[in-house]
């Protein structure tokens, strides 16, 4: 019996040795950067409206509530088309389907530059949601073809951290483009949609050719590594189907209470995420650029036209401060959850921290605007941190087509929270200002922390065994099927 570099036991048989840990690392490097870039473009195209609105909100005569409704309508189209999109991707594969969706949403995003009324604003946001609906669940479905449940949690968190990076990149990019106001007779916000949407459309065409469709054809792996990874995943699937056959059916997720419970938790996360994404620039303006926390439009006076044009660019640049700790916190919490094999506390504790910080913002800003914004940054980090652990949970009880439908349900309910976030916050701002918003967000995230802490499903045998198979450890006593499957896969390839 030989031991690989990663610590896995391998039978001494003719053929090349497969370092399983190195193979998994290569799979991470071959897939995650591509999906990371994909979701970065997704979030830039869905959230650039927050920066563009600094100009088009007065151009179209929108109230905060109307702006929030349009931002939220995106999630209606996003939710409605989740299940159809995920069923299609199981048939045609991620490269073809994601490539089509990305190209289509880039075109729709560019067309946002033509809107002139609030109805047109609502319509293009709905269509953008329709075409982006398959991106996040499609990325998750593609990752679970290559990785075990805990591996997926870390991999998906690495991909989803792009939601923070997109704002780090998108804010200064938006600042520069908004400063093009008047070039070619177009407003800065029109250039923002045209340029960023065009880049996304071109990338969608390229994705078809660079994303590996499945482990057996992964060009970044050696032949023996492809065989080992494909066999491992097939054997894990077969062992899961033997023990939990019903959960692999496409309809299995629909009556399963666990996916609905997790989806409601994720809806609260999405409520907080979208509230922060779409209103962060306005909060920054209220705290540091002459506005106020009452929600009233700031009365600003500029020395000249260029100063007025530079104002939204300054806000966009300042807004990037929030996203660095958010991205770092998401990656760290997901790595720690994988390392300690824990999801509950790695999701619940950040949620409670976020809730406490939101509630502390109103009294703090009376004494220090900077102190209040630091609390908002900490709260935002707590809002994003449960992302990876939550997304890794469905794979512990659903596989195959059942996982595709389950994750679509999970993300669809989350999308409802995404719709409610900007719409509810916009309404609260019009009626009571940002202080009420902070109180509502604080209460929601304290509730979320308790709800996640109480989520203790009994049957996690598939998760425990697959985690140990993936890590190369000995299987637990109640996980013999998957341990046997893993040994068979190694015997075939080393």
What CATH number is attached to the domain comprising 135?
A: 1.20.1250.20
**Chain mean pLDDT for the chain:** 81
The pLDDT value recorded for residue 489 is 39
Least confident piece of the model among 72-76, 149-153, 450-454, 463-467 = 463-467
Rounded average pLDDT over 159-177: 78
Kindly state whether residue 15 falls inside one of the protein's structural domains.
no
pLDDT for res 440: 94
> In this structure, what DSSP letter does residue 458 have?
S
The DSSP output letter for 321 is G
Decide if pLDDT at 413 tops 60: yes
Q: Does 50 reside within a domain?
A: yes
Q: Which residue range forms the structural domain that includes residue 213?
A: 29-218+231-489
How many other CB atoms sit within 10 Å of the CB of residue 370?
11
Section 167-176 average pLDDT: 80
For residue 462, what pLDDT is reported? Answer: 43
| Model-wide pTM > 0.85 | no
Helices 400-432 and 64-80 cross at an angle (nearest 10°) of 170
How far is residue 440 CA from its own chain's centroid? 23
225 within a domain of the structure (yes/no) = no
End-to-end CA distance of the chain: 11
User: What is the predicted pLDDT for the residue at 423?
Assistant: 87
What was the pLDDT predicted at 309? 66
The pairs formed by 428-433 with CB atoms below 8 angstroms and a separation of 24 or more are: 428/295, 429/64, 429/65, 429/68, 429/279, 429/282, 429/295, 430/63, 430/64, 430/65, 430/295, 431/295, 432/295, 433/292, 433/293, 433/294, 433/295, 433/296
pLDDT reported for residue 341: 83
Q: What is the DSSP letter of 393?
A: S
pLDDT at 53: 86
Please indicate, yes or no, if residue 392 is contained in any of the structural domains.
yes
Nearest partner of 130 among 97, 95, 82, 191, judged by Cα: 82
Mean pLDDT of 406-423: 86
Considering only 19-28, 76-85, 241-250, 292-301, which range has the smallest mean pLDDT?
Answer: 241-250
Whether the per-residue pLDDT at 471 is higher than 60: the answer is no
In a domain, 351, yes or no: yes
Question: Which carries the bigger pLDDT value, residue 4 or residue 81?
Answer: 81
Tell me the sheet residues that pair with 9.
3
- Contact between residue 494 and residue 228 where contact means Cβ atoms under 8 Å apart: yes
Assigned domain for 112 exists: yes
CB-CB neighbours of 348 under 10 Å: 21
Relative orientation angle of helices 82-92 and 64-80, to the nearest 10 degrees: 40
Q: Of 446 and 298, which is predicted with more confidence?
A: 446
**Per-residue pLDDT at 263:** 93
159 and 139 Cβ atoms separated by less than 8 Å: yes
Residue 23 inside a domain? The answer is no
440 is written with which tokens? 């509502």
3-class DSSP assignment, residue 2:
strand
pLDDT band of 236, cuts 50, 70, 90: confident
Position 1 scores a pLDDT of: 37
Residue 248 to residue 192: CA distance in whole angstroms: 43
- pLDDT, tens digit (0-9, with 9 covering 90-100), for 452-470: 999 987 644 444 444 444 4
What pLDDT, on the 0 to 100 scale, is given for residue 464?
42
Burial class (CB in 10 A: 0-12, 13-18, 19+), 1: exposed
The pLDDT of residue 362 is above 80: yes
Confidence of residue 419 (pLDDT cuts 50, 70, 90): confident
Q: Averaged over 150-171, what is the pLDDT?
A: 76
Q: Is residue 196 a part of any domain in this protein?
A: yes
Under DSSP, is residue 148 helix (H, G, I), strand (E, B) or coil?
coil
Q: How large a percentage of the chain has pLDDT more than 70?
A: 82
Q: How far is CA 370 from CA 363, 373, 374, 459, in A?
A: 13, 5, 6, 46
DSSP 8-state symbol, 475 = P
What pLDDT is attached to residue 9?
Answer: 34
Is residue 475 over pLDDT 50?
A: no
> What's the total number of domains in the chain?
1
């Amino acid at each position: 019996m030989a031991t690989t570099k990663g610590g896995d036991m391998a039978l001494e048989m003719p053929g090349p040795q497969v370092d399983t840990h190195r193979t998994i690392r290569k799979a991470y490097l071959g897939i995650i950067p591509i999906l990371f870039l994909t979701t970065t473009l997704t979030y830039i195209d869905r959230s650039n409206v927050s920066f563009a609105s600094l100009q088009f909100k007065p151009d179209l005569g929108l109230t905060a509530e109307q702006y929030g409704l349009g931002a939220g309508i995106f999630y209606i189209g996003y939710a409605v088309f989740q299940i159809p999109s995920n069923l299609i991707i199981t048939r045609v594969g991620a490269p073809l389907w994601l490539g089509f969706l990305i190209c289509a949403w880039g075109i729709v995003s560019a067309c946002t530059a033509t809107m002139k009324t609030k109805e047109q604003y609502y319509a293009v946001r709905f269509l953008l949601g329709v075409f982006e609906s398959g991106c996040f669940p499609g990325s998750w479905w593609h990752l679970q073809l290559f990785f075990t449940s805990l591996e997926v949690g870390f991999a998906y968190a690495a991909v989803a951290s792009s939601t923070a990076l997109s704002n780090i990149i998108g804010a200064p990019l938006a600042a520069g483009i908004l400063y093009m106001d008047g070039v070619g007779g177009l407003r800065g916000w029109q250039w923002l949609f045209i340029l960023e949407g065009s880049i996304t459309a071109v990338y969608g065409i390229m994705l078809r050719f660079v994303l590996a469709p499945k482990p057996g054809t992964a060009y970044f792996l050696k032949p023996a590594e492809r065989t080992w990874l494909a066999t491992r995943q097939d054997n894990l699937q077969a062992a899961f189907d033997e023990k939990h056959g019903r959960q692999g059916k496409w309809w299995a997720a629909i009556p399963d209470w666990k996916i609905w419970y997790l989806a409601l938790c994720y809806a609260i996360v999405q409520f907080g995420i979208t509230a922060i994404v779409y209103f962060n620039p306005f909060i920054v303006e209220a705290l540091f650029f002459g506005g106020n926390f009452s929600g009233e439009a700031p009365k600003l006076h500029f020395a000249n036209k260029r100063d007025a044009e530079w104002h939204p660019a300054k806000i966009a640049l300042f807004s990037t401060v929030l996203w660095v700790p958010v991205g770092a916190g998401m990656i760290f919490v997901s790595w720690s959850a994988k390392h300690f094999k824990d999801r509950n506390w790695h999701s619940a504790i950040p949620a409670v921290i976020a809730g406490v910080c939101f509630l502390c913002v109103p009294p703090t800003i009376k004494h220090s605007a900077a102190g209040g914004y630091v609390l908002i940054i900490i709260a935002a980090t707590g809002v994003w941190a449960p992302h990876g652990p939550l997304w890794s949970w469905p794979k512990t009880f659903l596989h195959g087509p059942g996982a595709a439908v389950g994750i679509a349900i999970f993300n669809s309910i989350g999308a409802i929270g995404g719709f409610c976030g900007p719409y509810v916050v916009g309404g609260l701002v019009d009626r009571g200002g940002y202080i009420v918003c902070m109180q509502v967000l604080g209460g929601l995230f304290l509730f979320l922390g308790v709800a996640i802490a109480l989520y203790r499903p009994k049957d996690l045998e598939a998760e425990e065994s697959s985690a140990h198979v993936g890590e190369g450890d000995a299987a637990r006593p109640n996980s013999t099927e998957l341990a046997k499957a893993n040994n068979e896969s190694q015997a075939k390839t080393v």
